[in-house]
Copies of this chain bind each other. A is one copy, B any other.
């Protein structure tokens, strides 16, 4: 049986402050927990119905420190959802080195003040799909271990390192290393026409305010997704998650094209 204190503890991990202190975050859902298990990620505590526990493939239980069988009612108490799933797990926040030269060796993403957890989750999911391994968030971005981010990213965070840092100094380093910084701005050049490289920083800004002025000097290439409509009013922009998907796709397509040409 799940003790009252344990329930309270798990629920408290919905707060960033507690997650930061405990270095733990919560994932919820049969599919998500299974993906973590299969990916070989260490699970500190698994709270699940006995039938879920019994269905864990042999050997994978070695990735779990502690298993707590729970009833539907108990899962309901720790769930964020109206109808709880069969499994919830506590995962240690990964220790990851902020290795600027390593990050700048490949295509990466920098996010300035992304506030909506759904947007950050979508961007992480798109990054994982398009094989982008590092996202550098400004310190005022929403927390990547926020339960809504985890939900929107569908566990894609397993494949992408999300760092928090001072973007000014990160972008300064990019300039020093002569790595192009692609800033997405309404007045940018069409991403379809812009020269794109396999190495670079894709900089995306806040949902309504865009990229803050103090970061503009670091942008070497302004890009935009052209609008194909003659409607003058409305539709100011694509949502930042959609824009990220389109831009990541365009970078990767070019790299493919280059490979074709050289093949």
**Interface residues, chain A, with chain B CB atoms under 8 Å away:** 35, 38-39, 118, 122, 125-126, 128-131, 154-156, 158-159, 190, 192, 225-231, 233-235, 238-239, 241-243, 245-246, 249-250, 252-253, 256-257
Q: Given A225-B249, A245-B245, A246-B249, A129 and B35 touching (CB < 8 A)?
A: no
Chain B residues near A250 (CB-CB < 8 A):
249, 253
User: In the bound complex, what is the Cα–Cα distance between A256 and B226 (angstroms)?
Assistant: 10
Chain B residues near A155 (CB-CB < 8 A):
234-235
User: In the bound complex, what is the Cα–Cα distance between A245 and B228 (angstroms)?
Assistant: 13
Chain B residues near A234 (CB-CB < 8 A):
35, 38-39, 128, 154-156, 158-159
Most buried by B among A159, A246, A252, A257: A246
User: In the bound complex, what is the Cα–Cα distance between A159 and B229 (angstroms)?
Assistant: 9
B35 touches A253 (CB 8 A): no
Chain B residues near A242 (CB-CB < 8 A):
122, 125-126, 241-242, 245
User: In the bound complex, what is the Cα–Cα distance between A205 and B246 (angstroms)?
Assistant: 19
Chain B residues near A130 (CB-CB < 8 A):
227-229
User: In the bound complex, what is the Cα–Cα distance between A238 and B239 (angstroms)?
Assistant: 15
B238 touches A192 (CB 8 A): no
User: In the bound complex, what is the Cα–Cα distance between A126 and B154 (angstroms)?
Assistant: 22
Sort A-B residue pairs by CB-CB distance and give the 6 closest, nearest first.
A131-B228, A242-B245, A131-B229, A246-B249, A35-B234, A192-B253
Chain B residues near A256 (CB-CB < 8 A):
190, 192, 226
| Chain B: minimal CB distance from A195 (Å) | 15
B131 touches A238 (CB 8 A): no
